[in-house]
Amino acid sequence: MNEIEVPQLDDVRAALERTRQHLHHTPLVHSRTLSDWLGYQVYLKCENLQKTGSFKPRGGLNRISTLPAELRDRGVITISAGNHAQGVAYAAATLQVPAVIVMPEDAVPSKVEAARSYGAECVLHGDVHAAFEKLRELQESRGLTLVHPFDDPMLVAGHGTVGWEINEDLSRVDAVVCGIGGGGLIAGIATAMRELTPGVRIFGVEPEGAATMSEALAAGAVVRLSDLDTIADGLAPPFVGELNLKIVQSSVEAVVKVSDDAIRRAMRVILERTKMLAEPAGAAALAALLEGQLSIEPGSVVAVILSGGNVDLARLPDLINAPER
């Protein structure tokens, strides 16, 4: 088996230089209310305010920027339920590269239209498993370069710029809490912060109905799940990346699971208390804190990643109306 290429801090630094002119340095907002409730200082890293409404353009821009000119000219392809689609579409448009996005037929319509608005060709096909097969077919027939949704060292390095910015904005950070889908974001943050902030505790959070990283950690290898059931579509790929699993194994203290109702409650808290909208995937990290699932010492400084804010407004009432405990 080939050795997995693991990005380093220098790769994150290079990604920052390549991408910063096209992206926001997103706010890191202190919440007095959440800090009082939880007993430690809570800062929200607002990737819901990033270009396209999520962290995804960070990795997409870095990956496409590092492709040789001849591959850029042919175009890129990816698969996504939404946020990665928009991130790659935005990155490709910014760098003037053709892009094809394969999406499951049940993808959130607003996310499909958003990807198309950046000029990408969107192909809707079957469920997530059938969509992966369609991806391989189109990649081969058209000679396109894959921009993997989560399992690529340059993608991970691009996402690591989130951790770099946290380090720039906070003189002290004791813990970072991040949602996990394919694992690219938490792997990038860990890559940056394990060197920039030695001793920082990194925690991952995933939905109970799509616990791919938990399954992989238990098995010691990537596990493909056939049954995914969660409102957090951005955290529901059928498997995690091999690269990301390796980084999580070495650099993430714990991965916990949260229910959909806990995610709904967290979305409502974010909306009521901070006046910001987080999608279910973006609210999962805070859900774990509100549910008391992480052992964090009182007085700690905690950065919570709001990874995205792309919500289909027609679904919003259902998404924020969780049963009271």
Q: List, by residue number, the catalytic residues.
A: 56, 307
Other C-beta atoms closer than 10 Å to the C-beta of 219 total 10
Sign of the alpha-carbon torsion through 79, 81, 99, 184: negative
The span from the CA of 233 to the CA of 85, in Å, is 13
Between CA 201 and CA 251 the distance in angstroms is 9
Distance CA 206, CA 179 (A): 6
- List alpha helices for the chain, DSSP H: 9-19, 32-38, 56-65, 69-74, 83-94, 109-117, 128-142, 153-159, 161-169, 184-196, 212-219, 242-251, 260-274, 280-290, 316-320
Please name which of 129, 116, 113 lies closest in space to residue 79, comparing C-alpha atoms: 129
**How distant, in Å, are the alpha carbons of 22, 139, 155, 220 from that of 91?**
9, 18, 12, 34
Please calculate the CA angle 21-10-60 and round it to the nearest 5 degrees. Answer: 45
